[in-house]
């Protein structure tokens, strides 16, 4: 007979209290009601699920909820079926995700209808660009939560608590994997000391349904194993990796697999030995296969000799389509260049028809104002995921080409480069937390709308529950009208604003060198690799501006399926948001608005600044609804963002004006 047990809320003493206010993220504790839980099994993950129910139950006081593990065909991966007082799933992780969904709906006031809820992707994973010395590449929220320089291998109770809070936050939005170290991988990550720390992290993350993964350096056999080569076809190299992977699994039995940046930006790779990406990836995949591990092999490749960097990944990977093992997934950045404020989707999506492909998004704001600018990224990711590739007819969106709907994929996955650090609010900017949240929600349901995600996050993160309870429906109404509506609109407009004041009309990669924060369209030191300098991308001269990727130029348009190739190729049909991505046009080219290209550029830059000013006003008005710590922090950041937006506008317009030789329209604010 099944062992049934139920526990009452009042007996529960929480051990999961957050360390400090800023650490609460979207899981703000509000007063819960007593609940009885009926559950037929006992696992660490189910214990977490039950703890969460007791901690956050907002339904009927004293209600009974049943958690059942069944075998239901309609359920995929860690999917679940929900009703007001029951969660069903095929495994305990599904129960946990169902519980978080139930609690979220209770808190946001959404309906709880009986429905099957399956994740879009099997693996929903964060990529931490964290180095063993504790620094974080492109991290703007303090040092790594996993690694540190001093006392590197001591695990403190504070570490464990933080990792648990991290796991909980991820699980609450369905993220089920994490790569613990930088893609520019330090070889020592595979040494025993590091692996033992990975073991402890894995133990803490496991009850929350999260697996750990590592990035590896392709030359590890030579660097660590002292072999003469790291050639993927060399028997000694193959044996070295096999032994290393066996060792990893003896330490972390449910290890997820490897992430590899190879033959890219100076990183070693199979091409150093005259081998292909497939040779390299397959060798690692074979070693991982017996344990069920996967290889996420990145397609972020380009070399200084290529005339158009945007074409290279496609050129290198398309000939290898169909040659990868079924536990290899090619990890492709959303755009063909590098996480710009706006790029068209990478032409590899949908084009590789016999290989699993996964999207990689950047949650950390490398090119989007770091942790200073308020930029909600869901609209950018939604734009990419819903782009039609036409690869299998109309409706072959990037989402459907990667989530297994169109192509038979043994594994499906989606990755986000994390924006998390030791900073008290985790992400450096209070609103940057929304991007972590949004990544998880989209990874779970690739068809969610940005507006819904923003609204959920605002309700969970900013709704002042206690005032609402005592303050009646009046508070609800004014909170919705005076806080939720304007702040949600600000979030939804924020990405377009950033595009306007940084890179309007398809401009890209014109950020200041190395840091990628402010403007730097002029930056081109003598001897520097051309493809690392902004003039390579904007091509501004007295003749015009923009990168010619048409059939007469680099012919990057040819990498897109029809009708896109023709649409992009013709300036009359190319969406104006991508105009200067695909075309080099004269300054007096006539835009759809009737303005010249130069004037349009001026108007867009100016609009971006105006938008940030309006965000400042919006925020100032919501002061009564926000605690003073968060209110002041966001207000201060918006002030800096505005100054930076003005700098972007002035710097870019004054720089480009030397080529356009046209006046800035009279109606607009003069550069200072």
Cβ proximity to ligand GCU: between 94 and 142 the closer is: 142
Strand pairing class (86-89; 80-83):
antiparallel
Residue 609 contacts ligand GCU per CB under 6 A: no
As given in the structure block, the two tokens for residue 660 are: 């356009």
As given in the structure block, the two tokens for residue 347 are: 């032409």
Residue environment code for 357-394, b if the CB has 16+ CB neighbours within 10 A, otherwise e: bbbbbbbbbbbbbbbbbbbbbbbbbbbbbebbbbbeee
Of 101, 122, 366, 600, which is the active-site residue? 366
What track of x and - describes contact with ligand GCU for positions 296 through 325 (by CB under 6 A)? ----x-------------------------
Q: Kindly tell me the burial class for residue 130, based on how many C-beta atoms sit within 10 Å of its own C-beta (0-12, 13-18, 19 or more).
A: buried
Residue 135 contacts ligand GCU per CB under 6 A: no
Shortest distance, position 291 Cβ to ligand GCU, whole Å: 26
Residue 158 and residue 148: Cα distance in Å, rounded?
13
Residue 454 and residue 488: Cα distance in Å, rounded?
6
**Number of residues binding to ligand GCU, judged by CB under 6 A:** 9
Residue 493 contacts ligand GCU per CB under 6 A: no
Closest CA to 545 of 652, 650, 660, 651: 660
Is residue 366 part of the annotated active site? The answer reads yes
Residue 374 contacts ligand GCU per CB under 6 A: no
Residue 184 contacts ligand GCU per CB under 6 A: yes
Cβ proximity to ligand GCU: between 248 and 332 the closer is: 332
Q: Kindly tell me the burial class for residue 242, based on how many C-beta atoms sit within 10 Å of its own C-beta (0-12, 13-18, 19 or more).
A: middle
Number of helices (H) and strands (E) in the chain: give both, helices first: 19, 13
Q: Which of 110, 137, 306, 576 binds ligand GCU (CB under 6 A)?
A: 137
As given in the structure block, the two tokens for residue 25 are: 């993220």
Cβ proximity to ligand GCU: between 129 and 407 the closer is: 129
Closest CA to 581 of 336, 382, 317, 314: 336
Of 338, 383, 388, 650, which is the active-site residue? 338
As given in the structure block, the two tokens for residue 584 are: 């080099």
Residue 261 contacts ligand GCU per CB under 6 A: yes
Residue 138 contacts ligand GCU per CB under 6 A: yes
Cβ proximity to ligand GCU: between 138 and 459 the closer is: 138
Is residue 394 part of the annotated active site? The answer reads no
Q: How many CB atoms lie within 10 A of CB 265?
A: 12
Cβ proximity to ligand GCU: between 367 and 436 the closer is: 367
Beta-bridged to residue 586, according to DSSP, are none
Residue 338 contacts ligand GCU per CB under 6 A: yes
Shortest distance, position 183 Cβ to ligand GCU, whole Å: 5
Shortest distance, position 333 Cβ to ligand GCU, whole Å: 7
Cβ proximity to ligand GCU: between 361 and 656 the closer is: 361
Of 265, 515, 620, 627, which is the active-site residue? 265
Is residue 338 part of the annotated active site? The answer reads yes
CA dist 141 → 366, 430, 610, 640 (Å): 12, 11, 27, 17
Cβ proximity to ligand GCU: between 42 and 529 the closer is: 529
Residue 217 contacts ligand GCU per CB under 6 A: no
Cβ proximity to ligand GCU: between 137 and 286 the closer is: 137
Residue 361 contacts ligand GCU per CB under 6 A: no
Shortest distance, position 498 Cβ to ligand GCU, whole Å: 17
Shortest distance, position 166 Cβ to ligand GCU, whole Å: 22
Q: Are the beta carbons of 211 and 256 closer than 8 angstroms?
A: yes
As given in the structure block, the two tokens for residue 625 are: 């609804």
Q: E strand or H helix at 238, and its extent?
A: helix 235-251
Residue 605 and residue 74: Cα distance in Å, rounded?
49
Q: Which of 48, 173, 183, 198 binds ligand GCU (CB under 6 A)?
A: 183
Interacting residues with ligand GCU between 440 and 469 (CB under 6 A): none
Interface positions with ligand GCU (CB under 6 A): 137-138, 183-184, 261, 265, 300, 338, 366
Which residues are catalytically annotated?
265, 338, 366
């Amino acid at each position: 007979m099944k062992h049934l047990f139920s526990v009452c809320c009042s007996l529960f003493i929480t051990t999961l209290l957050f360390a400090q206010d800023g650490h609460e993220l979207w899981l703000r504790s509000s007063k819960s009601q007593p609940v009885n839980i009926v559950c037929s099994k006992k696992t660490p993950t189910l214990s977490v699920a039950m703890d969460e129910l007791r901690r956050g139950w907002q339904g009927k006081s004293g209600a009974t909820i049943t958690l059942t593990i069944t075998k239901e065909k309609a359920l995929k991966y860690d999917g679940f079926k929900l009703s007001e007082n029951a969660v069903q799933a095929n495994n305990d992780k599904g129960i946990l995700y169902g519980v978080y969904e139930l609690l979220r709906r209770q808190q946001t006031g959404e309906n709880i209808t009986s429905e099957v809820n399956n994740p879009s992707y099997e693996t929903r994973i964060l990529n931490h660009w964290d180095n063993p010395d504790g620094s974080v590449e492109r991290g703007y929220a303090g040092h790594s939560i996993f690694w540190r320089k001093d006392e590197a291998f001591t695990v403190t109770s504070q570490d464990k608590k933080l990792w648990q809070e991290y796991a909980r936050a991820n699980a609450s939005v369905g993220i089920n994997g994490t790569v613990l170290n930088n893609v520019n991988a330090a070889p020592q990550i595979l040494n025993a000391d590091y692996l033992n720390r990975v073991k402890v992290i894995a133990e803490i993350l496991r009850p929350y349904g999260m697996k750990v993964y590592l990035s590896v350096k392709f030359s590890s056999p030579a660097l660590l194993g002292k072999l003469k080569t790291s050639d993927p076809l060399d028997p000694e190299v193959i044996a070295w990796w096999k032994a290393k992977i066996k060792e990893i699994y003896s330490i972390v039995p449910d290890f997820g697999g490897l992430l590899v940046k190879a033959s890219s930006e100076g990183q070693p790779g199979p091409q150093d030995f005259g081998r292909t990406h497939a040779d390299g990836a397959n060798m690692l995949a074979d070693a991982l296969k017996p344990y069920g591990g996967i290889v996420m092999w990145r397609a972020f490749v380009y070399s200084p000799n290529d005339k158009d960097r945007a074409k290279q990944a496609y050129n290198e990977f398309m000939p290898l389509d169909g040659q990868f093992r079924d536990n290899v997934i090619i990890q492709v950045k959303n755009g063909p260049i590098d996480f710009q404020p706006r790029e068209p989707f990478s032409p590899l999506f949908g084009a590789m028809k016999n290989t699993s492909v996964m999207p990689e998004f950047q949650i950390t704001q490398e090119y989007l104002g770091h942790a200073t600018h308020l930029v909600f990224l869901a609209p950018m990711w939604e734009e990419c995921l819903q782009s039609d590739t036409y690869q299998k007819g109309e409706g072959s969106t990037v989402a459907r080409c990667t989530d297994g709907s169109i192509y038979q994929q043994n594994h499906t996955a989606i990755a986000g480069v994390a924006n998390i650090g030791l900073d008290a609010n985790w992400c450096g900017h209070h609103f940057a937390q929304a991007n972590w949240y949004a990544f998880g929600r989209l990874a779970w349901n690739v068809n969610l709308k940005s507006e819904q995600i923003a609204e959920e996050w605002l309700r969970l993160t900013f709704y002042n529950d206690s005032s609402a309870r005592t303050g009646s429906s009046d508070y609800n109404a004014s909170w919705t009208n005076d806080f939720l509506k304007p702040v949600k609109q600000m979030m939804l407009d924020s990405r377009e604003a950033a595009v306007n004041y940084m890179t309007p009309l398809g401009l890209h990669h014109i950020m200041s060198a190395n840091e990628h924060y402010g403007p730097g369209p002029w930056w081109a030191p003598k001897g520097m690799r051309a493809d690392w300098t902004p003039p390579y991308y904007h091509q501004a001269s007295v003749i015009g501006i923009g990168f010619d990727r048409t059939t007469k130029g680099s012919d990057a348009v040819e990498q897109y399926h029809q009708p896109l190739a023709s649409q992009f190729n013709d300036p009359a049909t190319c969406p104006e948001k991508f105009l200067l991505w695909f075309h080099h046009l004269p300054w007096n080219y006539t835009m759809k608005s009737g303005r010249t290209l130069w004037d349009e550029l001026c108007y867009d830059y100016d609009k971006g600044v105006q938008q940030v000013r309006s965000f400042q006003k919006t925020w100032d008005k919501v002061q009564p609804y926000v605690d003073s710590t968060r209110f002041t922090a966001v207000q201060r950041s918006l002030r800096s963002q505005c100054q930076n937006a003005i700098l972007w506008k002035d710097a870019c317009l004054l720089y480009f004006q030397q080529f356009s030789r046209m006046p800035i329209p009279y109606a607009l604010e003069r550069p200072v």
